[in-house]
Protein backbone atom coordinates (compact mmCIF):
# COMPACT_ATOMS: atom_id res chain seq x y z
CA UNK A 1 0.00 0.00 0.00
CA UNK A 2 2.83 2.36 0.87
CA UNK A 3 4.40 1.77 -2.55
CA UNK A 4 1.31 2.99 -4.36
CA UNK A 5 1.15 6.07 -2.14
CA UNK A 6 4.84 6.69 -2.79
CA UNK A 7 4.29 6.19 -6.52
CA UNK A 8 1.58 8.86 -6.61
CA UNK A 9 3.64 11.28 -4.49
CA UNK A 10 6.76 10.74 -6.61
CA UNK A 11 5.18 12.49 -9.57
CA UNK A 12 5.12 15.75 -7.61
CA UNK A 13 8.75 15.76 -6.44
CA UNK A 14 11.65 15.84 -8.88
CA UNK A 15 14.04 13.95 -6.58
CA UNK A 16 11.62 10.99 -6.46
CA UNK A 17 11.11 10.56 -10.18
CA UNK A 18 13.81 7.87 -10.43
CA UNK A 19 11.78 5.74 -8.03
CA UNK A 20 8.75 6.07 -10.27
CA UNK A 21 10.73 4.69 -13.21
CA UNK A 22 11.56 1.25 -11.84
CA UNK A 23 9.24 0.69 -8.89
CA UNK A 24 7.74 -2.47 -10.39
CA UNK A 25 11.16 -4.06 -10.85
CA UNK A 26 12.13 -3.27 -7.28
CA UNK A 27 8.83 -4.66 -6.03
CA UNK A 28 9.44 -7.83 -8.02
CA UNK A 29 12.89 -8.12 -6.44
CA UNK A 30 11.36 -7.84 -2.95
CA UNK A 31 8.71 -10.42 -3.87
CA UNK A 32 11.31 -12.95 -5.01
CA UNK A 33 13.40 -12.27 -1.89
CA UNK A 34 10.34 -13.01 0.26
CA UNK A 35 9.65 -16.27 -1.57
CA UNK A 36 13.32 -17.26 -1.33
CA UNK A 37 13.24 -16.63 2.43
CA UNK A 38 10.14 -18.82 2.80
CA UNK A 39 11.91 -21.53 0.83
CA UNK A 40 14.91 -21.29 3.17
CA UNK A 41 12.68 -21.83 6.21
CA UNK A 42 12.39 -25.49 5.18
CA UNK A 43 16.12 -25.90 5.89
CA UNK A 44 15.80 -24.92 9.55
CA UNK A 45 16.19 -27.54 12.25
CA UNK A 46 12.87 -26.92 13.99
CA UNK A 47 11.10 -28.08 10.81
CA UNK A 48 12.91 -31.43 11.09
CA UNK A 49 10.23 -33.23 13.18
CA UNK A 50 7.66 -32.42 10.51
CA UNK A 51 9.96 -33.67 7.76
CA UNK A 52 10.70 -36.94 9.60
CA UNK A 53 6.96 -37.70 9.72
CA UNK A 54 6.88 -37.75 5.90
CA UNK A 55 7.60 -40.88 3.91
CA UNK A 56 10.89 -41.19 2.03
CA UNK A 57 9.14 -40.59 -1.29
CA UNK A 58 7.53 -37.39 0.04
CA UNK A 59 10.86 -36.22 1.48
CA UNK A 60 12.54 -36.82 -1.88
CA UNK A 61 9.84 -34.85 -3.70
CA UNK A 62 10.09 -31.99 -1.18
CA UNK A 63 13.87 -31.95 -1.61
CA UNK A 64 13.50 -31.80 -5.41
CA UNK A 65 11.04 -28.90 -5.14
CA UNK A 66 13.39 -27.06 -2.78
CA UNK A 67 16.38 -27.47 -5.11
CA UNK A 68 14.42 -26.44 -8.19
CA UNK A 69 13.04 -23.35 -6.44
CA UNK A 70 16.34 -22.33 -4.85
CA UNK A 71 18.72 -22.94 -7.72
CA UNK A 72 16.43 -22.97 -10.72
CA UNK A 73 14.02 -20.15 -10.10
CA UNK A 74 15.01 -17.74 -7.34
CA UNK A 75 18.72 -17.38 -8.13
CA UNK A 76 17.94 -16.93 -11.81
CA UNK A 77 15.28 -14.32 -10.97
CA UNK A 78 17.68 -12.42 -8.67
CA UNK A 79 20.39 -12.43 -11.32
CA UNK A 80 18.04 -11.31 -14.09
CA UNK A 81 16.50 -8.48 -12.05
CA UNK A 82 19.85 -7.23 -10.77
CA UNK A 83 21.38 -7.31 -14.26
CA UNK A 84 18.39 -5.36 -15.57
CA UNK A 85 18.74 -2.74 -12.82
CA UNK A 86 22.49 -2.41 -13.38
CA UNK A 87 21.98 -2.15 -17.14
CA UNK A 88 19.47 0.66 -16.66
CA UNK A 89 21.88 2.39 -14.26
CA UNK A 90 24.68 2.24 -16.78
CA UNK A 91 22.49 3.52 -19.61
CA UNK A 92 21.36 6.57 -17.62
CA UNK A 93 23.61 9.35 -18.81
CA UNK A 94 23.96 13.02 -18.12
CA UNK A 95 23.75 15.68 -20.87
CA UNK A 96 27.54 15.80 -21.10
CA UNK A 97 27.62 12.14 -22.17
CA UNK A 98 29.18 10.82 -19.01
CA UNK A 99 27.32 8.59 -16.54
CA UNK A 100 25.77 10.26 -13.56
CA UNK A 101 27.04 7.63 -11.19
CA UNK A 102 23.59 7.14 -9.66
CA UNK A 103 22.64 3.54 -9.01
CA UNK A 104 19.06 2.40 -9.44
CA UNK A 105 19.41 -0.48 -6.98
CA UNK A 106 19.71 1.72 -3.88
> The whole model's pTM is what?
0.59
* Residue spans of the chain under pLDDT 70: 1-4, 6-11, 13-21, 92-106
Distance (Å, rounded) from C-alpha 8 to C-alpha 14?
12
Q: Which residues, including other chains, have CB under 8 Å from residue 33's CB and lie 6 or more apart? A: 78
| pLDDT on residue 103 | 55
The pLDDT value given to residue 95: 47
Confidence (pLDDT) at 94 = 46
Amino acid sequence: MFIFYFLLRSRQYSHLRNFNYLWTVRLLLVFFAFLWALNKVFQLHYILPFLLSLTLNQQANLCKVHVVLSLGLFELAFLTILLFLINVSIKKQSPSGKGKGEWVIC
